[in-house]
């Protein structure tokens, strides 16, 4: 049986809900937004090079950042 909240005259059933963790919630929204625009990995890497001025260390930092993972809804792992 669920929990009940008591009022002055009678007990009223209380409905609760569990909140989804924030990271999953953001990734879910990002995935819905990403479904609208199709980007390839090459386009994402090219955009990172454009914004960082061609510095490889800055590109790696951008691609592996938590903000990029949230925006794309996926983690990018660079090997090499």
**pLDDT above 60: residue 2:** no
Q: Which tops the pLDDT comparison, 77 or 6?
A: 77
6-25 pLDDT, tens digit per residue, is 666 677 777 777 776 677 77
Give, in order, the Cα–Cα distances in Å from 60 to each of 4, 44, 54, 55.
53, 12, 11, 9
pLDDT score of 3? 63
pLDDT score of 65? 92
Structural domain spans, the chain: 40-80
């Amino acid at each position: 049986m669920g929990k009940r909240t008591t009022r002055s005259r009678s007990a009223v059933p209380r409905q609760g809900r569990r909140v989804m963790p924030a990271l999953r919630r953001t990734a879910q929204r990002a995935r819905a937004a990403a479904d609208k625009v199709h980007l390839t990995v090459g386009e994402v890497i090219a955009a990172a090079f454009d914004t960082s001025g061609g510095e490889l260390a800055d590109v790696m930092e951008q691609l592996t950042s938590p903000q990029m993972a949230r925006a794309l809804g996926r983690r990018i792992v660079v090997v090499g």
